[in-house]
Structure 1
Amino acid sequence: MALEGKRPDQQHEEQSQARQSIRQGHRASFCYLPLRPVVVHGMRVSAAPVAIAIACALAVAAIVIAGTRPSTLFAIPSATISSATIEPAILTSGDAIVSRKPDLAVVSSGIESQQSTAAAAQADLETKTAKLISRIKALGVADKDLGTTGYWVGPVYSSTGQTITGYRASHQLQIRWHNVDTVGKALDAIVQEGGATNVTVSFGFGDPKSAQAEARSLAIADARAKAQAMASAAGVKLGQVIRISDLATSTRPPMPLSLGAAVKEDAQVPVGQVDVQVSVEVDYAIG
């Protein structure tokens, strides 16, 4: 059996090309196996030389590819470790509620008109509103304490909801009444003489800052009492204040009173108390 190889001139040309590729900046080891024709009569030819030749060719190809690939520099940033010193402290919170009699009554009064057309309803409503405003101002209410909170015009449907039977217009006014002890008389005048309907009264403060400041001072005192108790229990001394945070401030007025249009003469309206609640957080150092 005969195994044919490449011609000597072809083999020489390939070897020259391989050496030239290595000289162009690729440092590598070169494997060369003569591939002269081998003829063995009467015997099987071993495949080992062929396998070695293939392995050498693959090694050369890998070296050439690696040589053409650009270099990459990996830099690992240095980790900067900063340590923060945690000072020992006592963290507390305090709450306080201040209840005071309100000094402001907010009266919401509505008036309405229903006519066959929207224009007629608005015209009638305008007349009624002018009468109501005149009566309110006669009570001594300043312009800054009187305002509109709602105005609405729309159709009125039959019981089946298919037919329009008329149009209704409504106007909602808001009055700030600064004497809560006489608000009953004001309501009587607004309803009986001014024609107002859907009357609602709520109470509050004209300026809540005074009550809030008192509640805040009490809340801070509550936080200090808690911190002192914690320090005593831990066997340490309470130091100076590190930080104070105002967590929440809320006002809880009495429930609004809805009177409708049935207000009796000299109606007595219970005023009640308004609660102002403040929550704080106070951090103390350990001295």
Structure 2
Amino acid sequence: MKFFTASTFAAMATMTAAPALAATVEIASQGPVIELTVSENVTTSPDIVTIGAGVTTEARTAVEAMRQNSAEMRAVIDRIKSLGVDDKDIQTTGINLNARYDYNRQTQQQVFRGYQVSNRVSVKLREIDETGRVLDALVSAGATDLNGPSFSIEDDAAAKDEARKRAVTKAQERAKAYAGMLGYNGVKVLSISEVIRGSSPMPQMMMRAPAEESAEASAPVQPGQVSTGVNITIKFEMAGSGG
């Protein structure tokens, strides 16, 4: 896997001879202490895309609205499965039933119109190149609401390890540089903490259209790159002769 990195530093240095605390263990420091916070990001190509699809229907009664919605949503799910998507990658995310009213300006009263039912599923695709075709197929099958796509990495452990490695290296280099400026020969780690950041969300495309207005050509989709990374805070003790 090919990685590209971007890093930022936030350093706050405190010169003190007081003991340093790491969790509940007290570590006595002999020299000045410096604390550095480093953020490291690793970007790579995504291998998972998640899209949302839904069906919204209206009818005079709640029973009819639910019956109609169930039939149309079943057609959408069947279409998703026909495209090779496994059951484990299809998840219902919400079913809503609401009464609908119109406002009569003359009488200044609400007039009951019927019931609206919406049913939504989240679909995980493992073939990113098929995203546009799948979106079009969903609309053709009766989906009235689409959102996404959201790109991610199935297993970002390697990317996190790379970000972690580079963050530690940069923190050590920066700590040694500070120590050298002040006449010390090296540094010793007193404590380290980490905050892991998951894959950064990408801008989402959102669409709402009736099935009969589906596009003739597949919707263009560009996966780009996704970013994952870590924030680490390391406390170093300056060692050796001081200036």
Describe the superposition over 1:127-176 as per-residue Cα deviations: whole angstroms up to 9, x where unpaired. 10111111000011111100100101111101336111111111001101
Work out the CA distance in 2 between the residues paired with 1:253 and 1:112. 26
Q: Return the match for 1:146 from 68, 77, 90.
A: 90
Q: Any unmatched runs of 5+ in structure 1?
A: 1-82
* Counterpart code for 1:87: Q
Alignment: residue pair count:
204
Q: Which residue of 2 aligns with 1:87?
A: 30
- Report if the CA contact (8 A) 2:159-2:229 is conserved: no
Q: Return the match for 2:72 from 94, 113, 128.
A: 128
Work out the CA distance in 2 between the residues paired with 1:94 and 1:223. 6
* Counterpart code for 2:63: A
Work out the CA distance in 1 between the residues paired with 2:135 and 2:173. 47
Higher relative contact order (CA 8 A, sep 6+): 2
Describe the superposition over 1:18-71 as per-residue Cα deviations: whole angstroms up to 9, x where unpaired. xxxxxxxxxxxxxxxxxxxxxxxxxxxxxxxxxxxxxxxxxxxxxxxxxxxxxx
Q: Does 1:269 align with 2:221?
A: yes
Bigger radius of gyration = 1
Structure 1 residues 263 and 237: CA distance shift in structure 2, 3 A: farther
Q: Does 1:113 align with 2:57?
A: yes
The 5-angstrom pairing of residues 35-114 of structure 1 reads 85-88=28-31, 89-114=33-58
Q: Which residue of 2 aligns with 1:200?
A: 147
- TM normalised by structure 2 equals 0.77
Structure 1 residues 147 and 254: CA distance shift in structure 2, 3 A: same
Runs ≥4 residues deviating over 6 A: none
* Counterpart code for 2:40: A
Structure 1 residues 105 and 263: CA distance shift in structure 2, 3 A: farther
Q: Return the match for 2:194 from 237, 246, 249.
A: 246
Q: Which residue of 2 aligns with 1:61?
A: none
Work out the CA distance in 1 between the residues paired with 2:197 and 2:121. 29
- Report if the CA contact (8 A) 1:96-1:222 is conserved: no
2:133 alignment partner, SS class: helix
Work out the CA distance in 2 between the residues paired with 1:260 and 1:116. 23
Q: Any unmatched runs of 5+ in structure 2?
A: 1-17, 20-27
Which is richer in helix?
Answer: 1
Q: Which residue of 2 aligns with 1:255?
A: 203
Identity of aligned pairs, percent? 29
Q: Which residue of 1 aligns with 2:22?
A: none
- TM normalised by structure 1 equals 0.66
Q: CA deviation at 1:254?
A: 1.2
* Counterpart code for 2:226: V
RMSD: 1.9
